[in-house]
């Protein structure tokens, strides 16, 4: 499984770029109630489980509880088990897992299926939600690894050099923001294959 591997600084740039380009679709879908709070949190938990981000697991467990999800469902989601997911949301959660597992490179067929099931507007809202949590995971992993290292509990996947390089890599986020704005200005596709 590719998702458990840590992200590099160049990958974090592109994850931020893609997230910034699509976060507006998440907010639009929330406003027009295409995405309810439970579906949003299921997507967040599904991606976080694939990427194994401790800080995001903690934050989204809290939000999932506040949205009304049961403790059992949350535990299952964090274990990669989607048995409790309502049937109409399974495709969105599975796409979220696929997106994270392929490190942000889903198949064309999987995206076409999302549009077929949910329509383009809601599919873009789901994509925006996935990419938002991918950004959180990308930077949450090194930050939580760094703080755990300071507490004497280093993440076996990580190193101090990695954590510092990724923390410093957050300085590239403004550049990816400008890049995203320019791409929007030129109406570049929000997803490519």
pLDDT in tens, 121-163: 999 999 999 999 999 999 999 999 999 999 999 999 999 999 9
pLDDT given at position 4:
63
- DSSP-derived secondary structure letter, 6: P
Q: CA-based diameter of the chain, in Å?
A: 49
**pLDDT tops 90 at residue 104:** yes
Residue 103 backbone phi and psi in degrees, to 5: 60, 40
SS3 34: coil
**Secondary element (H or E) of residue 178:** helix 173-185
Confidence label for 2 from pLDDT (cuts 50, 70 and 90)? very low
- DSSP-derived secondary structure letter, 106: -
**Secondary element (H or E) of residue 89:** none
Residue 31 to residue 156: CA distance in whole angstroms: 40
- Tell me the average pLDDT of the chain: 95
pLDDT given at position 1:
40
Nearest residue to 80 via CA among 66, 63, 96, 64: 96
| C-alpha distances out from residue 118 to 70, 125, 148, Å | 25, 10, 40
CATH of 9-185, one of 1.20.1290.10, 3.40.50.11810, 3.30.420.40, 1.10.760.10: 1.20.1290.10
């Amino acid at each position: 499984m590719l998702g458990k591997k840590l992200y590099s600084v160049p990958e974090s740039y592109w994850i931020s770029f893609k997230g910034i380009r699509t976060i507006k679709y998440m907010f639009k879908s929330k406003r027009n109630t295409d995405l309810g709070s439970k579906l949003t949190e299921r997507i967040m938990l599904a991606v976080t489980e694939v990427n194994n981000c401790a800080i995001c697991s903690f934050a989204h467990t809290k939000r999932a509880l506040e949205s009304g999800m049961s403790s059992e469902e949350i535990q299952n989601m964090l274990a990669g088990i989607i048995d409790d997911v309502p049937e109409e949301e399974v495709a969105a959660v599975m796409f979220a897992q696929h997106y994270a597992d392929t490190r942000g490179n889903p198949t064309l067929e999987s995206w076409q299926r999302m549009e077929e099931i949910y329509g383009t507007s809601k599919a873009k809202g789901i994509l925006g939600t996935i990419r938002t949590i991918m950004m959180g995971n990308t930077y949450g992993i090194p930050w939580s690894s760094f703080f755990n290292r300071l507490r004497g509990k280093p993440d076996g996947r990580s190193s101090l050099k990695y954590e510092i390089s990724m923390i410093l890599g957050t300085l590239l986020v403004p550049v990816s923001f400008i890049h995203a704005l320019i791409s929007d200005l030129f109406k570049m596709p929000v997803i490519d294959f």
